[in-house]
Structure formats: C-alpha cells, structure tokens
Amino acid sequence: MLFIGDGSIQMTVQELSSILRRDLKPIIFLINNDGYTIERLILGENSSYNDVNRWRYAELPYVLDTRNRSRRLIVHTEDQLEAAVEQAATANELVFIEVMMERTDAPESLKRFAKMFADFDFGPSPKATETLSMAV
C-alpha cells in the first residue's frame, strides 16, 4: 500500500511507470487535496506556491502502461472509499484510488503540529503560545 499526495506524485510519477513495468500490484491511494496541504498549514494557506497543476491522476496508470494491468477508482465519500477498498482487497492488479479531499482537510493533530512548526521556524504568533500550552 502507498499513500501519496497530489503534490508528491507530481515529483515521483515516473516510479508508477516502473511499478507497472515490473508488474507489481500495489494499492495506491492518491490523496487529492489540491496542492501542498501541509505547507498550507505551516505557512500560506492561500499562497499560490502551494498550488499544483491539476492532473487527471486516476488516468495515470492507463497513460503509463499499454497493457491495461490496473484498476482506477475515484472516491468522494466514505462509503465510496469503503467500496473501493473492498474492490482492492480482491484485485489481482495495481489499484489506483484517487481520494478527493478538501484543500485543508487534515487531522487536528497535524494542524497543531503545523502551527508549532511554523512558530518554531518563523517566530511565535499569539495563537502559538495557546497551542503550545494545550499540547503540553
């Protein structure tokens, strides 16, 4: 299993071609949240440098392999994700599941960590002291 973001896959997509060439059969979850969410949380939620060009990610296995040795699924809801995981469990091919997420959808623990990281790098903000005291 591989979990990767839309920004990260744009830097490593050639490895998907290698996976297909070697006839490997992982389950890949592409978290599509429209850019670098962790960077948005640290510094610049609306900064354009955290945007990535939108791709048709679920099409990548078909584009990179002419032998149709993959299955693609795009999910928007928890029910769809559950159904996709059930399909993936019995598949005998690479399964590419594109999970559509909101731009800043992240666990609260990651949001707190990002805030502390930003304050460490760029100096505390008034909310940083409050966040840090809650974490301790």
Q: Which residue, chain included where needed, has tokens 């040795």?
A: 69
Are residues 27 and 93 both part of a single domain? yes
Are residues 123 and 100 both part of a single domain? no
Are residues 90 and 127 both part of a single domain? no
Dihedral sign, Cα of residue 18, residue 24, residue 30, residue 36: negative
Are residues 58 and 119 both part of a single domain? no
CATH number for the domain harbouring residue 8: 3.40.50.970
Q: What is the DSSP letter of 98?
A: E
Are residues 111 and 126 both part of a single domain? yes
Are residues 70 and 128 both part of a single domain? no
Question: What is the domain extent for residue 112?
Answer: 106-136
pTM higher than 0.75, yes or no?
Answer: yes
Are residues 52 and 77 both part of a single domain? yes
Are residues 110 and 80 both part of a single domain? no
Sheet arrangement for strand 70-75: 2-5, 27-32, 94-100, 70-75
The Cα 73–Cα 93 span in angstroms is: 13
Residues whose CB is less than 8 angstroms from the CB of residue 124 and which lie 6 or more positions away in sequence, other chains included: 132
Range 41-46, long-range pairs (CB < 8 A, 24+ positions): 41/104, 41/106, 41/110, 41/111, 41/114, 41/115, 41/118, 42/114, 42/117, 42/118, 42/121, 43/118, 43/121, 43/122, 45/104
**pLDDT tens, position by position, for the chain (136 residues)?**
999 999 999 999 999 999 999 999 999 999 999 998 888 888 878 888 888 999 999 999 999 999 999 999 999 999 999 999 999 999 999 999 999 999 888 889 988 988 888 888 777 766 544 544 555 4
Are residues 18 and 60 both part of a single domain? yes
Are residues 82 and 45 both part of a single domain? yes
Are residues 27 and 44 both part of a single domain? yes
